[in-house]
C-alpha cells in the first residue's frame, strides 16, 4: 500500500516508533476505549499494542528486524488470539518535496484477508495523516 503524507520522512518515521504517537493510530481505531502501546524501538526489540474496542481487547505483537532512520522499518506482526502465524511488515518512507511517500508491504497474509487488511491499513493511514496534520 502506498500513501503520500504531508510530513517529513523523519516525522513519519518517528510516528511508527514513538509510543506516544503510535498509540493514536497504529493498530487502533476511532472506537478505541483503551490503548496500551509498548515499543522497544531497536533491532531485536519487541512491540505490543493492546487496543480495547466494544469490550474486547485486541493485541498485536512483534519484533523489530530492521530500523534504518528515517527511511525503513521492518518488523514481525501477529495477533495470537486469532492465529499463531507471524507476518512481516516492511515500511519504506521516501521524501517527496516537503512530504513523504509511505509504502507498506505485508508479507505472509492469506489472500482471503487482503481486502479487510487493506481497509484496516487505510483507516490507520487516514488517522496517521490527521495526527501529522495537527502539528
SS3 string, 42-111, reads: CCCCEEEEEEEECCEEEEEEEEEEEEECCCEEEEEEECCCCCCCCEEEEEEEEEECCEEEEEEEEECCCH
Yes or no: say if 96 and 89 are a contact pair by the CB < 8 Å rule: no
pLDDT 10s digits, 77-91: 999 998 899 999 999
How confident is the prediction along the chain (135 residues), in pLDDT tens digits per residue?
999 999 999 999 999 999 999 999 999 988 899 999 999 999 999 999 999 999 999 999 999 999 999 999 999 999 999 889 999 999 999 999 999 999 999 999 877 778 888 999 999 999 999 999 986
Which domains, ranges and CATH numbers included, belong to the chain? 2-134 (3.30.530.20)
Yes or no: say if 47 and 61 are a contact pair by the CB < 8 Å rule: yes
Q: Write down the pTM of the prediction.
A: 0.94
- Which pLDDT score, from 0 to 100, does residue 30 have? 85
Separation between Cα atoms, residue 127 and residue 27, nearest integer Å: 11
- Which pLDDT score, from 0 to 100, does residue 111 have? 78
Mean pLDDT computed over every residue of the chain: 95
Beta bridge mates, 93: 102
pLDDT 10s digits, 56-73: 999 999 999 999 999 999
Q: Which of 105, 86, 103 is nearest to 94 (CA)?
A: 103
Describe the crossing of helices 114-134 and 9-17 by its angle, rounded to 10 degrees.
Answer: 110
Amino acid at each position: 500500500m502506498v500513501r503520500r503524507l504531508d510530513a517529513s520522512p523523519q516525522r513519519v518515521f518517528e510516528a511508527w516508533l514513538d509510543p506516544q504517537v503510535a498509540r493514536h493510530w497504529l493498530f487502533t481505531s476511532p472506537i478505541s476505549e483503551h490503548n496500551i502501546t509498548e515499543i522497544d524501538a531497536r533491532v531485536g526489540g519487541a512491540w505490543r499494542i493492546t487496543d480495547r474496542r466494544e469490550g474486547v481487547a485486541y493485541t498485536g505483537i512483534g519484533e523489530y528486524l530492521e530500523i534504518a532512520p528515517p527511511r525503513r522499518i521492518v518488523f514481525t506482526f501477529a495477533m495470537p488470539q486469532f492465529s499463531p502465524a507471524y507476518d512481516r511488515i516492511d515500511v519504506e518512507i521516501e521524501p517527496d518535496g516537503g512530504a513523504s511517500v509511505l509504502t507498506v508491504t505485508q508479507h505472509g497474509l492469506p489472500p482471503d484477508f487482503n481486502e479487510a487488511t487493506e481497509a484496516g491499513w487505510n483507516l490507520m493511514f487516514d488517522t496517521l495523516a490527521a495526527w501529522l496534520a495537527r502539528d
